[in-house]
Amino acid sequence: MKADLECLPCFLKQAFEAARMATDDEMVQRRVLDEVTKLLPSLSLDKTPPKISRGIHQLVREASGTEDPYRGVKEKYNRIALSLYPELKDKVKASDDPLLFAIRVAIAGNIIDFGIGLDFDIDRDLDRVLGAEFAIFDYGEFKETLTRAKKVLYLADNAGEVVFDRVLIECLDKEVIYAVKESPIINDALTDDAKFCGIDKVVQIISSGVDAPGTVLGLCSQEFLKYYNDADLIISKGQGNFEVLSDEPKPIFFLLIVKCSVVARYLGVKVRDIVLKKRSG
């Protein structure tokens, strides 16, 4: 899907949040914000939002002189998520439909997001999401595709969220490739985060080669694209991956919490809704 006019103020808000993560110096924050502001009028909205916000976050990192503004929060949420792991596993085990509950868990992990600026509180939101109605629920198709699948590719989203993904992956009973981002972009999971969350104990981790907040295929490594093209089930986490892959002709299932009104309108659902959606068409 393409970006919307409404994304422009949101990009500036994201730049502000990133600048605040990068430095406490308000002079630097203002300089970063002014640099991003000057970029906005020249932006074409004919691209996906993650492709555009990649450039914006690059500029923030350069203008603030900070390699990884979100490192601290990534570490924090890796730790918090790991501490929840035993409880999540117990809940899956106690569930009537462990696979479905594990899907809920994986989606619930998507609350950990510093990109879009939607407030979150793990304790409050975890229970809400675990008990929420699905706004889109292609569960039947998911089970069917999973049953036949031999090569499952799992596209990670954020640090911390990896633990929740692990709970789902451990339910799939398949060989899974877990793809993370190549280098720092917002709080997206990198290889180190995935390892810290222990997912290397159950699956192989690869990098997509991308430094955008979504798996932009044109930026992916050849190695990743081989897995992508061969996969007979792709599990895509989060809104960023949805934004870049919504129109791709692949067996993709999108697991996400809807975080903004642009995507909500596109999907015909509401902000904060939870979605398990087969790629249409």
Q: Name the site residues for a second copy (rule: CB under 8 A).
A: 5-6, 8-10, 12-13, 15-16, 26, 29-30, 33-34, 37-38, 40-41
Q: Other C-beta atoms within 10 Å of 46: how many?
A: 9
Q: 280, exposed or middle or buried, with CB in 10 Å at 0-12, 13-18, 19+?
A: exposed
Tokens of 272: 């904060």
Give the number of residues written for the chain. 281
Best CA proximity match to 263, nearest among 20, 32, 109, 50: 50
Q: Please report how close the Cβ of residue 124 comes to a second copy at its closest, in angstroms.
A: 13
Alpha helices in the chain, H assignment, sequence order: 7-22, 26-39, 49-64, 71-94, 98-108, 122-131, 139-148, 161-172, 191-196, 222-230, 238-245, 261-267
Residues forming a β-bridge with 158: 188
Nearer to a second copy among residue 40 and residue 80 (C-beta): 40
- Angle, CA of 182, 185 and 117, to the nearest 5°: 150
Nearer to a second copy among residue 197 and residue 267 (C-beta): 267
Q: Please report how close the Cβ of residue 35 comes to a second copy at its closest, in angstroms.
A: 9
Q: Please report how close the Cβ of residue 23 comes to a second copy at its closest, in angstroms.
A: 12
Q: Please report how close the Cβ of residue 132 comes to a second copy at its closest, in angstroms.
A: 17
Nearer to a second copy among residue 8 and residue 82 (C-beta): 8
Nearer to a second copy among residue 9 and residue 72 (C-beta): 9
Nearer to a second copy among residue 12 and residue 99 (C-beta): 12
Q: Please report how close the Cβ of residue 122 comes to a second copy at its closest, in angstroms.
A: 17
Q: Please report how close the Cβ of residue 6 comes to a second copy at its closest, in angstroms.
A: 6
Q: Please report how close the Cβ of residue 252 comes to a second copy at its closest, in angstroms.
A: 29
Q: Other C-beta atoms within 10 Å of 12: how many?
A: 16
Nearer to a second copy among residue 41 and residue 86 (C-beta): 41
Q: 197, exposed or middle or buried, with CB in 10 Å at 0-12, 13-18, 19+?
A: buried
Nearer to a second copy among residue 37 and residue 229 (C-beta): 37
β-pairing verdict for 252-257 and 274-278:
antiparallel
